[in-house]
Amino acid sequence: MKSLRSRLTIWFGLVFLALVVTFTLLTHHTLEDELRNRAWQKDYPDHPDWKLHGSFSESEVEDISGELVESAVSWSIPLAVLALLGGYWLAERSLRPIASVNRQLQTKNSGNLGDPISLPEMDDEFRGLVRQLNELLKRLDSSFAEMNDYAAKVAHELRTPLAILRLKVEQPGGRIDPELADELEAELHRLTYVVEQSLLIARADRGRIMAMRSVFNFSLTLTEVVEDFQLLAADQGRRFTLESTPECWVSADPRHLRQVAHSLLTNALRHGDGDLLVRVKRRGKFAVLLVGNRARSTGTTEPTLGLGLRVVAALLRLEPELKLQRRHRDNYYVTRLLVPLLEQPDSFHI
């Protein structure tokens, strides 16, 4: 049994029952001793000289102690149930602070690491634990901020040399071999993109990007986004299937959803193989964007930064009600983005 609550319940129940059994045995033993070994004496107030002495017969002793055992056995089941219920209630009450700490820890992300965990009525045993946890979170927050600042500063510092290099490569005059210039330009472009995306992640993680919510048709937004990807897929000889429910009204930041869709599609195009499936449909309370593609089966797998997914994660942290699910089965990758659906869009139509 893995749950501490269940174990505490059972331990409490067993301890309680053991106490009851011990008490019953002691009572039984004492009663038998009294009944068997001690004579009783009865006085008569009207005749002070009269005294009646007597003792219990063996059958009477057995009868009385048998009744005691019988009574103990018949009460044992309800007592056991009561003991278990009491144990459960006590375990539940004792573990409530742990459950509260657990809930608060689950909501922690890079944006709220510094917010301390709080327990309104703390016992001494938990006060120490919570203090240690808060100090740990504080240290994590400051090292995360330091790391983030450092990454942002490095990315920022890289901008100037990249701009100089780009100017030199694009300089007319043909001093650089054209083939090399082509390669340099492509690499510089890639580096610039990495720098800009790193800065975007740093800004999002530091809460310097605001979510600008509005109501819009997610299907329409996606149709706009996929246009270029359809062409790129066709250029690679891959079939691109778009299945879209015409009306999927959602409330979110359309900039973030466009960026997320771009990143997911770029990943599918760059790291995937074969046909691409993109689907937007309504499922329960959500509009679901599904991107499915087969993993590249030939060639070596280049180690990547995972920049696209990092951008997605950073943006999704700004809008916690959006959920991303990734599955991988039989060499087929499926990524789902769940956006809460609006059943009744307001009068705003684009």
Binding region for another protein (CB under 8 A): 159, 166, 170, 172, 174, 176-182, 185-186, 188-190, 192-193, 196, 199, 203, 208-216, 224-225, 227-228, 231-232, 235, 253-255, 258-259, 262-263, 266, 269-270, 308, 348, 350
Q: Which is nearer to another protein, 83 or 199 (CB)?
A: 199
CB of 307 to another protein, least distance (A): 9
If we measure between CA atoms, which residue out of 308, 340, 329, 233 comes closest to residue 277? 233
Read off the DSSP letter of residue 278: E
CB of 127 to another protein, least distance (A): 40
Cβ atoms 101, 130 nearer than 8 A: yes
Q: Which is nearer to another protein, 174 or 299 (CB)?
A: 174
What span, in angstroms and rounded, lies between the C-alpha atoms of 119 and 102? 11
CB of 334 to another protein, least distance (A): 21
Q: Is 38 exposed, middle or buried (0-12, 13-18, 19+ CB in 10 A)?
A: exposed
CB of 228 to another protein, least distance (A): 6
Q: Is 65 exposed, middle or buried (0-12, 13-18, 19+ CB in 10 A)?
A: middle
Cβ atoms 336, 295 nearer than 8 A: no
Q: Which is nearer to another protein, 20 or 158 (CB)?
A: 158
If we measure between CA atoms, which residue out of 258, 239, 264 comes closest to residue 333? 264
Sequence-ordered list of residues with C-beta below 8 angstroms from that of 218, at least 6 positions apart, any chain: 248, 249, 250, 257, 280, 287, 289, 339
306 sits in the region (left: phi over 0; alpha: psi -120 to 50; else beta) called left
Q: Which is nearer to another protein, 20 or 151 (CB)?
A: 151
CB of 97 to another protein, least distance (A): 39
Q: Which is nearer to another protein, 177 or 275 (CB)?
A: 177
CB of 227 to another protein, least distance (A): 7
Q: Which is nearer to another protein, 35 or 260 (CB)?
A: 260
Q: Which is nearer to another protein, 81 or 180 (CB)?
A: 180
What span, in angstroms and rounded, lies between the C-alpha atoms of 201 and 207? 10
Is 11 in a helix, a strand, or coil?
helix
Is 7 in a helix, a strand, or coil?
helix
CB of 197 to another protein, least distance (A): 8
